[in-house]
Amino acid sequence: MTTSAQTTAQTTAQTTAQTAAQTAAQTAATRSGTEKPALSTHGLNKSFGSLVVARDISIALPQGARYALIGPNGAGKTTLINLITGMLRPDSGRIRLGPHDITSLKPHQRVRRGLVRTFQINTLFPQLTALEAVVLAVSERRGLARNFWRGLTAFPDAAEEAYAILKSLSLGADCTRLTRELAYGQQRLLEIALALATKPKVLLLDEPAAGVPRDESADLFAAIAALPPDITVLFIEHDMNLVFRFATRIIVLVQGAILLEGTPQVISADPRVREVYLGGVHYG
């Protein structure tokens, strides 16, 4: 039987929960709206000879964003990631990580500051288990990698951290398998695990689901969307279903320039995007 005291208590609890949820949502909105961006570019330009691949690219990614970078094949998406990571030098323009100008830093210096991209692991660590590979990455960050020959048991803290990362990406059960024996989707997850071992602030993913069977790619993106909320993510993906499902915001790049930037709702409703996407061009 429900007494009026119980009803009052339930109503109060519900109101309190609703207020807490609203406050959390407002805090998140304020954070994404007013906080300084985790990563920004300012008027980036890049040409290869007469081919302009980046035209006055200015973007600002708020902390915790899940940003998708989309556009036709050859639009300059990978080039933009290469400019951000320092693999390529811009002809002009600046790049900032938080408030710091990193334009003149080398790629490894940017990684050390928390700007990280994934690399294909199947070529890097075929003879290691998933756990060994991540322990190596954690040890590298902690400055222990030179003693790696001593084996996993010499570094219980690093092994514990590595296992926690693998577990958070649903790779705990398979962590003792060789990296090359993992399913494609798991290999891509392991690449993300290796990136997480460097404690990134901003994570750049160039087609993270490339080569992954369709039925595994949604799980992969669910894992990306569920990464810790303080990590800012920019990913390139050509499957629009995945983009609209998992991106909080989208940048559309066409011929090296930003055509449009906005929420999935804004992007899907924009006639210019429809024209680009229905115009018979190929996307990647």
Ligand X SMILES: Nc1ncnc2c1ncn2[C@@H]1O[C@H](COP(=O)(O)OP(=O)(O)O)[C@@H](O)[C@H]1O
Binding residues for ligand X, rule: CB under 6 A, are 48, 51, 53, 71, 73-79, 284
Partner interacting with residue 53 (select from ligand X, Mg ion, none; CB below 5-8 Å by kind)? ligand X
- What's the rounded Cα separation, in Å, for the pair 241 and 111? 31
CB 234 → ligand X: shortest distance, Å?
Answer: 13
Nearer to Mg ion, 45 or 78 (CB): 78
Partner interacting with residue 264 (select from ligand X, Mg ion, none; CB below 5-8 Å by kind)? none
CB 200 → Mg ion: shortest distance, Å?
Answer: 20
CB 81 → ligand X: shortest distance, Å?
Answer: 8
Partner interacting with residue 75 (select from ligand X, Mg ion, none; CB below 5-8 Å by kind)? ligand X
Q: What is the dihedral of CA 201, 205, 209, 210, to 10 degrees?
A: -160
CB 78 → Mg ion: shortest distance, Å?
Answer: 3
The first and second tokens of residue 164, run together, are 């926690």
Inter-CA distances, 108 with 37, 46, 105, Å: 21, 21, 8
Q: Give the range of 26-34, 76-84, 153-161, 274-282 binding Mg ion by CB under 5 A.
A: 76-84
Partner interacting with residue 12 (select from ligand X, Mg ion, none; CB below 5-8 Å by kind)? none
- What's the rounded Cα separation, in Å, for the pair 98 and 269? 31
The first and second tokens of residue 203, run together, are 């994570």
- What's the rounded Cα separation, in Å, for the pair 202 and 61? 9
Nearer to ligand X, 63 or 82 (CB): 82
CB 120 → ligand X: shortest distance, Å?
Answer: 16
Nearer to ligand X, 175 or 258 (CB): 258
Nearer to ligand X, 159 or 203 (CB): 203
Considering only CA atoms, give the Rg of the chain.
Answer: 21
> Which backbone phi and psi does 172 adopt, to 5 degrees?
-55, -45
Nearer to ligand X, 133 or 259 (CB): 259
78 binding Mg ion? (CB under 5 A): yes
Nearer to Mg ion, 235 or 246 (CB): 235
Partner interacting with residue 149 (select from ligand X, Mg ion, none; CB below 5-8 Å by kind)? none
Q: Which residues of 212-236 are buried (b: 16+ CB within 10 A; e: fewer)?
A: beeebbbebbebbeebeeebbbbbb
* CB neighbour list of residue 283: distance below 8 Å, 6 or more residues apart: 70, 71, 72, 73, 238, 277
List residues binding Mg ion (CB under 5 A): 77-78
